[in-house]
Chains A and B, each alone.
Chain A
Amino acid sequence: MQLTINGAPREVDAPPDMPLLWVLRDLLGMTGTKFGCGVALCGACTVNLDGIPRRACVMPVGAAVGHAITTIEGISATPSGRKVQHAWLDLEVVQCGYCQSGQIVAAAALLAKNPAPTDTDIDQAMSGNICRCGTYQRIRAAIKQAAHAPSTVNRGD
């Protein structure tokens, strides 16, 4: 089947019920998307499907066909993703970093849809993403900073 990942077509040979997470990690070698729980409870595997955050660990790959999949590897090509990454670097959000792919992808989706999220909006969008190191306070601050960041010039990357 053919998938569209980070804007590029990718051909994969997988059973349609295989979760997208394992297609990405084990078949395509895209290891930025993480395995944390396998049952959509932790958000480590978050990818955006047509801009909407989805848990790749429970999403059958067959259901992703025909949709635009954005992973952490491609998030910098989106305007909100780039802002989020800059804010993450600026505020030193990261500790172990294992959850951060999912956090960044989810935050980018939030900002793309809602350019000025309130605390409640952030709670709603981000509470499905667990961080065991406890970086939530900085994630919240970084989302707000990214929301106020001027749009960077699209350099075509």
Chain B
Amino acid sequence: MDRVSRREFLIAGAAAGGGLLLGWHIDGGPRVAAAAATTTASEFAPNAFIRIGTDGRVTMIMGQVEMGQGAYTAMPMLLAEELEVGLDQVRLEHAPPDEKRYANPIFGFQATGGSTSVKGLYLPMRRAGATARTMLIAAAAQRWSVDPASCRAERGVVIHTPSRRRIGYGALAPAAAELPIPETVVLKRPEDFKLIGTPAKRLDTPTKVNGTAQYGIDVRLPGMKIATVAASPVLGGKVGGLDEAKAMAVAGVRQIVRLDEVVAVVADHMWAAKQGLAALAIRWDDGANAAVSTADVVKDLAAAAETPGVVARKEGEAAAAIAGAATKLEAVYEAPFLAHVALEPMNCTVQVRKDGCEVWTSSQVLGRVQATAAQVTGLPLEQVVVHNHLLGGGFGRRLEFDYVTQAVRIAQQVTGPVKIIWTREEDVQHDVYRPYYYDRIAAGLDARGRPIAWMHRLVGPAILARWAPPAFRNGLDGDALDGAVDLLYDIPAIQVEYVRHEESVVNTGFWRGVGVTHNTFVIESFIDELAVAAKADPFEYRHALLTKAPRARAVLELAAKEAGWGATLPAGRGRGIALNYGGAWDTYLAQVAEVAVSPAGEVRVHRIVCAVDCGTVVNPDTVKAQIEGGVIFGIGGALWGEVTLKNGRVEQSNFHDVRVLRMNETPAIEVHLVRNGEPPGGIGEPGTAVTAPALANAVFAATGKRIRKLPLKPDQLRSA
């Protein structure tokens, strides 16, 4: 997902009042952030991320959002490391929407996703901290008439080393604010790091264990009403009719808002809104998708897979090599639509006035939230105020803003603030689903079983073409192809093709692990098939093909060693291995899974061992937590994850049929980190991406059954 640009430029320019604005410009011409610094004269705000008051209070403004992945600890660690303050000395503030000042350098706009925060901001955040530190030291040196080089900073205090004079950042703030912005700053050497690389405590934990953490759904405003909604259960359908009087008769119901494709019941509280919605007995005009089922979707994908795709990678003549190979293998792999089911249901609170609009929500794309509210209301951007909150899970769902657009449209009909909350059923049935992917893959082996050619044609929608159009280039969706074009195995002839196939029956978008999740399942299952055909050990087979990928080889070795690869397992158990690399993340992860399959076909996961090389580690505890959590997300998805359609409607509705992993099903998970000085890679998603193929390969080892279609459902595995 980083095909937009891997480069970022830090542009500093003096702003009115002595503040400093930092902006990014991505490719193209310079785009210096133009927004005015919201600072008072006495504050030192050298950039968009740091504000120091005369009282010495250090505020860090978080352009990346917190959805559990630890951004609200990692970003402060990067800033604090260079600013020379302790994490205990800082307070955090959610950033407002600003597509430029808070742009994610990898995307070029304000977004938190794709495991990019640390990868993209490792240097920019440190520079922001170092800039402030340099200016504070310069202010102190000026006051003391000494050489800045004779001063140092420590825990928010500048110290003149020879004389041991000390002065706090607060006292220096006004003078520092008057200084010019240094054009270059010196970053600390890794051996001098005090925070980076340590398992620092998360800054968001205390409020999350005492119930005071504020998520979007927790917003409370004077006079606020609560609404819940029903949108057409079939994409493209409209409201046909409803029994408004019955709903209005429910105590606490205040208003029914009817739009083309959605109805909202506005009430004093959620209970009344839910009862009102049920009483409406809405009749729907289903429209063109009324008869669609999953089988129709798959039929279309299979047909598309017969057509040649846009070539994304070509080395040698793969088709000819396969035709002449000693052994030929080909297979079709399928991965289903998936729902996100973040535990905090979609919600958005809006107040629309004639001269402005205010939005309270939790989003991974704040700038887009502001833009959609402006577009719906016709107000200029600056009259739309957006308040972000902690996210009760994102997983890609909150990279979309459909729920915000809908909420603003509803709020336009309501006087005063209204909080719109989707029920879980509404969430499951109106998600922006992980696409159904359909892959055809083939390989040719030489007489010794070694692959001489590899052909992979993948079929699915181009999410990037919608979500980040500039990143969709030459007919190629870099996300859909991520992991597939980066195939690490040393094979002489490789052809990877992409057939774009958009869905009209459901909306599709990013799901944890994005394109890599689907590609890793296909690639790592198929390489296992090749190993079986070559009568080779799956670990040894991969290992021999990784001579040109030493980091991949190292994690594979480490995972195998820690898992005791090759050691005897109890009867009925199987062990599977998988390797994962996404170009967008630059992280290498190998996993060994141990499973057992019951006669009824139920898969039980007993143990997961991961070896991770994500380069420079900012917070090792967060890295481990993200891998553990990613694995658990991946197990539930691989074993049970599936959204299906019948009569145009999503058949699933709540956690009884959207099964996710629970405590009693959670295996022992071990995470082993490779520490090196490579640039930091992403860690939020690889754990999810690697899990399905490791499980599928373990299932094969346990049962001899090769499952090429997710999920790993009992009906494919029953032994009877």
Contacts and interface: CB of A to CB of B under 8 A. Distances in A.
Given A19-B271, A130-B660, A134-B632, A99 B343 contact: yes
Contact of B213 (A97, A124, A131, A139): A97
Interface string B249-275: 001000000000000000011110010
B390 interface: yes
A133 B633 CA distance: 7
B33 interface: no
B345 A36 contact: yes
A5 interface: no
Contacts of A39: 424, 654-656
Interface string B511-536: 00000000000000000000000000
A127 interface: yes
Contact of B628 (A33, A37, A134): A134
Interface string B191-218: 0000000010110111111111111011
B209 A96 contact: no
Interface in B321-367: 341-345
Contacts of A33: 211
B621 interface: yes
Contacts of B67: 96
A41 B633 contact: no
Interface in A17-46: 18-19, 22, 25-27, 29-39, 41-42, 44
Contact of B343 (A18, A98, A124): A98
A88 B270 contact: no
B629 A140 contact: no
A60 to B, nearest CB: 10
Which label, helix, strand, loop or mixed, suits the secondary structure of the B interface? loop
A129 B648 CA distance: 31
B662 interface: yes
B655 A37 contact: yes
Contacts of A26: 226, 268-271
Given A31-B220, A41-B656, A135-B629, A94 B205 contact: yes
Contact of B662 (A76, A93, A130): A130
Nearest to B660: A130
B495 interface: no
A131 B660 CA distance: 9
Interface string A107-131: 0000000000000001110111111
A68 to B, nearest CB: 17
Contacts of A80: none
A132 interface: yes
B556 interface: no
B77 to A, nearest CB: 14
B431 to A, nearest CB: 13
A72 interface: yes
Chain A interface size, under 10 / 10 to 19 / 20 to 34 / 35 or more = 35 or more
Contact of A97 (B270, B274, B390, B662): B390
A35 B208 contact: no
Contacts of A99: 343
B424 A127 contact: no
Which label, helix, strand, loop or mixed, suits the secondary structure of the A interface? loop
B625 A95 contact: yes
Interface string B272-293: 0010000000000000000000
Contacts of B629: 95, 133-135
B344 A98 contact: yes
B631 to A, nearest CB: 7
Contact of B269 (A27, A76, A138): A27
B633 A129 contact: no
A59 to B, nearest CB: 12
B663 interface: yes
A63 interface: no
Contacts of A104: 209
Contacts of A48: none
A127 B202 CA distance: 26
Contact of B395 (A76, A97, A122, A132): A132
A75 B424 CA distance: 27
Interface residues of B, number: 64
B108 interface: no
A42 B664 contact: no
A95 to B, nearest CB: 3
Between B66, B210, B220, B274, the greatest number of chain A beta carbons within 10 A of the residue's beta carbon is seen for B210
A94 B655 contact: no
A31 B269 CA distance: 13
A2 to B, nearest CB: 19
B393 A37 contact: no
B421 interface: yes
Between B201, B214, B666, the greatest number of chain A beta carbons within 10 A of the residue's beta carbon is seen for B666
A50 interface: no
Contacts of B342: 96, 98, 132
A96 B654 contact: no
Contacts of B395: 132
B202 A94 contact: yes
B628 A31 contact: no
B385 to A, nearest CB: 21
Interface in B37-54: none
Given A97-B204, A100-B208, A136-B632, A38 B423 contact: yes
Contacts of A97: 68, 204-205, 207-209, 213, 390, 392
Nearest to A32: B211
Contacts of B628: 134-135, 137-138
B270 A42 contact: no
A1 interface: no
Given A31-B220, A76-B210, A127-B663, A134 B630 contact: yes
B546 interface: no
A22 B393 contact: no
A135 B662 CA distance: 10
A139 B625 contact: no
B424 A72 contact: no
B186 interface: no
Question: 6 tightest CB-CB pairs across the interface, nearest first?
Answer: A32-B211, A134-B632, A96-B68, A98-B392, A97-B208, A95-B68
Interface of B: 66-70, 199, 201-202, 204-215, 217-218, 220, 226, 251, 268-271, 274, 341-345, 390-395, 421, 423-424, 621, 625, 628-633, 654-656, 660-666, 668-669
Interface of A: 15, 18-19, 22, 25-27, 29-39, 41-42, 44, 71-73, 75-76, 85, 88-89, 92-101, 104, 122-124, 126-140
21 contacts: A22-B271, A26-B226, A27-B269, A32-B212, A34-B344, A34-B392, A36-B345, A37-B654, A38-B423, A44-B343, A75-B211, A92-B201, A96-B394, A97-B204, A97-B208, A98-B342, A101-B211, A104-B209, A132-B633, A135-B628, A137-B669
